[in-house]
Amino acid sequence: MGSKSSIEGVLTAVVTPMDQNYGFNELGFREQIERQIIAGNGIFCGGTNGEFFALTEAEKCAVVDVAVDQAAKRVPVVGHVGEIATTQSIRAGRYVAAAGVDAVAVITPYFVPLSQQELVAHFSAIADALEVPVYLYNIPARTGNTIEPATAAQLASHPNIVGIKDSAGSYESLQGFLAIAKDCHDFSVFNGPDHLIHQGFLDGCAGCVSGLANVAPREVQAVWSHFHAGDVVASEQAQKTVSRLREQLYKVAFAPAAVKRAVRLLGYPVGDSKYPTQIGPQQDAQISAILAELNLRY
């Protein structure tokens, strides 16, 4: 079994660059990994902003292989391995663990509604089977399944389940999981929604998994670095920039597509989203205005 994790700070939910034929763009991905490392951020690959739901199995494997290789132990790499079937998640987890990640994250199964005890059985079986630390991944708006705090508390007793990434989007949800972390010091909470990063740190989150760090890597890192240095006021100011970016960008399109388009408009060859989405000149102009307003074209 993997040991309890000590990962903290910012993990960027890195976008998966595509070429003109919607194939995995390895060089573009390496560039994005390097961008994040330069900013001081760790890597969360194959997640929602990485469009895992639209990738083939071969592409998911390539993403984690390249991320681990490019990071070269300079920053933590967490690989997402959540699938609908427990057996599929275990298979993906074993591959990702062998690739050399520091931990895996496992989303709740999607499409099929599950009871809390079914979720316990699912996550426990995965954690039993893997030799790398496991983070639960709660994003009910996208999966239809919610990890309740009592369920997370039950799973926190597993020696190989080290924490949770909470992307429920509400302060109440975050508080429920942080209460578990206070009772179980080996259980870490990572905040998903970008508007709650600073508040999460104030309340005890070990870190955040940020989609907007693709667009503003230094600004998101500043929320953590200032807080970690004891400058809560500067951390809060950095959060205002991140929150403004979120407020404006997500008016344009659903998060993964909007984030990827913003990165592309910053001049990086990440291509289009692989899932069906339409962003045209009008949306490009809106996104460009947001980037200019926040002075993100560096």
21-to-54, 61, 218 alpha-carbon distances in Å: 14, 19, 31
User: Per-residue confidence of the chain (298 residues) as pLDDT tens digits?
Assistant: 544 568 999 999 999 999 999 999 999 999 999 999 999 999 999 999 999 999 999 999 999 999 999 999 999 999 999 999 999 999 999 999 999 999 999 999 999 999 999 999 999 999 999 999 999 999 998 999 999 999 999 999 999 999 999 998 888 888 999 999 988 878 999 999 999 999 999 999 999 999 999 999 999 999 999 999 999 999 999 999 999 999 999 999 888 999 999 999 999 999 999 999 989 999 999 999 999 999 997 5
Task: Identify the pLDDT of residue 5.
Answer: 65
Enter the tokens of residue 180: 């578990």
Provide the 8-state DSSP code for 194.
G
Task: Identify the pLDDT of residue 4.
Answer: 58
| CB neighbours of residue 20 within 10 Å | 9
| CB neighbours of residue 98 within 10 Å | 12
- For the four alpha carbons of 128, 130, 132 and 133, in that order, the dihedral sign comes to negative
> Residues near 14 by Cβ (< 8 Å), separated by ≥ 6?
29, 32, 33, 36, 43, 44, 45, 49, 50, 67, 214
* 81 contacts 14 by C-beta, under 8 angstroms: no
| CB neighbours of residue 276 within 10 Å | 7
Task: Identify the pLDDT of residue 287.
Answer: 96
Q: Is 132 annotated as a binding residue?
A: no
| CB neighbours of residue 11 within 10 Å | 28
How open is the CA angle 78-161-115, to the nearest 5 degrees?
110
* 138 contacts 176 by C-beta, under 8 angstroms: no
Residue given tokens 């426990």 in the structure block = 124
Q: Of 155, 145, 69, give the one whose Cα is nearest residue 107.
A: 145
Task: Identify the pLDDT of residue 298.
Answer: 55
Catalytically annotated residues: 137, 165
Task: Identify the pLDDT of residue 97.
Answer: 97
Which class would CATH give 9-293? alpha beta
How would you class 52 by CB atoms within 10 Å of its CB: exposed for 0-12, middle for 13-18, buried for 19 or more? Answer: buried
